[in-house]
Copies of this chain bind each other. A is one copy, B any other.
Amino acid sequence: MPSPADKTNLSDANDVGKVEEKTFVYKDNFSLTGGGTLAGFELRYEYYGQLNAQRDNAIYICHALTGDHHVAGFYNHDDEKPGWWNHVVGPGKPIDTNRFFVVSSNCLGGCRGSTGPSSEDPKSKGTSYGANFPDLSICDMIRAKRALIDHLGISTLHAVVGGSMGGMQTLQWIVEYPGFVKNAIIIAATAQHSVQTIAFNEAGRCSIRGDLGWKDGSYEKNEGPAQGLSVARMMAHITYLSDLGMEEKFGGDQRLDSSEDFEFSVQGYLDHQGKKFVDRFDANSYLKLTEALDRFNLVGEHGLANAVANVDTRTLVIAFSSDWLYTPKQNKDIADALIKAGKNASYLEIDHSHGHDSFLIDSGPFLKALGSFLQGEDTTTEQALEEDGFRKLKNRYEVKKEADFRAIDDWVAPKDKVLDLGCGRGLLLEHLREAKDVHGLGVDWELNKSISCISRKVPIYQEEILAALSKFSDNSFDWVIFSRMVESLPEPGKIIEQAIRVGHKVAVSFVNHGYWRNRWNFLFKGRRVCNEVYPHQWESSHLSNHFSISEFEDFSKRLHANGMQVNLGRKLFYRGDWVNKCSFLPNLRAGLAIYEIVKGS
């Protein structure tokens, strides 16, 4: 959509180097979803890297509304800037051109070389389509891209990746061609424009159409509605940035403009953005493309989960915290629907202050997420592991993990669907996948841990536990596992009830607070234990909700009394070492407990 990333050193050895534009010519009639037909079309495209012998290493990159096919590298040595995603695509980069054959095309309806309103209308000699260009949809753009991929002799795509409108196209790719795309990364996108977004687009279109220069769309080249297009761009540009991002760039000491042309520096910036846009973009293209975006609606009457029912693609959805154009909620809705429909889908939310445009910015966690998903390498550094609170308890934690692994591995059946709440770096689900071929989904709210899951190919939903549980359908998992965090949940009863709703069986593993050493300590000292297991003094503790085996058993009885048809199933108690089992007086003698809750009549 917006302006490319900061200028990169063109002589960078990791660059794809000098690249060339190609043109794909489709000569047949091409029917559009809106009812119109094009007598053929052209797509301007570029590629980087080598197509392998199996022709299965291609990645298609879809650009945003006002972006184009020039993703990486440069055309000439004196280019001011490289392609708009040069920091993402190249040798050794997250989208690694040493491994992948990367293709991108200017979308149908665009104005950067592909057929669009400014192209010559074959029916009229010498004049462009203008406003006569037929109504266009995101689906039409994908079908045209598919024609290019067929032309290149590629029968399956390793991945499709795109942000903003490119993310919507990526979603449309996997819906339109089930199984054709092995992996998809949908970034800062939506399955349906919000009313607010339609409203902003409409104000922009009114600005263009109200400009006398528009002439009902039949303006001459270089004589279009410059004023109207410029205002539309200014306004839209604000929606690509965040309040905070604008404040950082044009607030404080930079608030007032140093020139005499403007009072505030942001005025000069917007003026520049507007003028630059008029030079590089066609007003009719802008109208047609924003209409296609407003109309894009995979939610429809039957819901998004229904629309994605046939998807057969491993998918990652990435949102940015400060994106208020296509909000985290809208992106999460896409992941929700895929998960609801039983697909392999992950959701990450990256904390970034640059608003919608964050996907264009060179930022570590984002690049790591892309690379981990496409290449499956755990790039987690030792430092990141240190940040994991459990690292401090390394031995204890490893011991508990071992105990959980053994019990849950024993209980879970091959090919079960398993939801791991508070899954951390995804080790349990990775283990269950290797050992039992389970279909796992992890939930954790920490980005670093979630990216680790991605690198292990463990699907991850980055969210708070209760919010995540509320999204899942009844009985949609065989197992729901609380492996290490029940004591950090407020009103845990409600959350466990949700888990019972979502899963057929629930496994709860917890440190028994009724263990005799805790009682002893409290009796004689009147204070909490402070040791490896409970590492913090009162004043530096997070809030918690420790509980004992007795309390848990009483709770399960109350569940029953409240009419829930659940029973405690298998139980495992470990002594204070968390290694040796114990069965006599567990509430006093056990340090660790693992329970199975079984739903039944």
Q: Footprint of B on A, CB under 8 Å?
A: 194-196, 198-200, 202-203, 206-207, 210-212, 227-228, 230-231, 234-235, 238, 241, 243, 246-247, 249-251, 255, 263-264, 266-267, 270-271, 274, 294-295, 324, 327, 488-494, 496, 513-515, 518-520, 522-523, 525-528, 537-545, 547-552, 554-555, 558, 587-588
Contact = CB atoms under 8 A, between A and B. Distances in A.
B540 A493 contact: yes
Contacts of A212: 212
A538 B490 CA distance: 9
Contact of A195 (B251, B294, B324, B491): B251
A593 to B, nearest CB: 12
Oligomeric state, in copies: 2
A599 B234 CA distance: 55
A200 B541 contact: no
Contacts of A324: 243, 324
Contacts of A554: 527, 537
A447 B382 CA distance: 45
A3 to B, nearest CB: 15
Given A247-B194, A538-B545, A523 B525 contact: no
B267 A542 contact: no
Contact of A558 (B496, B539, B555): B539
B203 A231 contact: yes
A363 to B, nearest CB: 21
Nearest to A330: B243
A246 B194 contact: yes
Nearest to A241: B196
A526 B548 contact: yes
Contacts of A295: 263
A365 to B, nearest CB: 25
B540 A588 contact: no
Given A202-B266, A202-B270, A294-B264, A539 B555 contact: yes
Given A199-B234, A243-B327, A523-B523, 10 more contacts: A195-B246, A195-B251, A195-B266, A199-B270, A235-B235, A263-B295, A514-B522, A526-B549, A527-B551, A541-B545
A542 B495 CA distance: 12
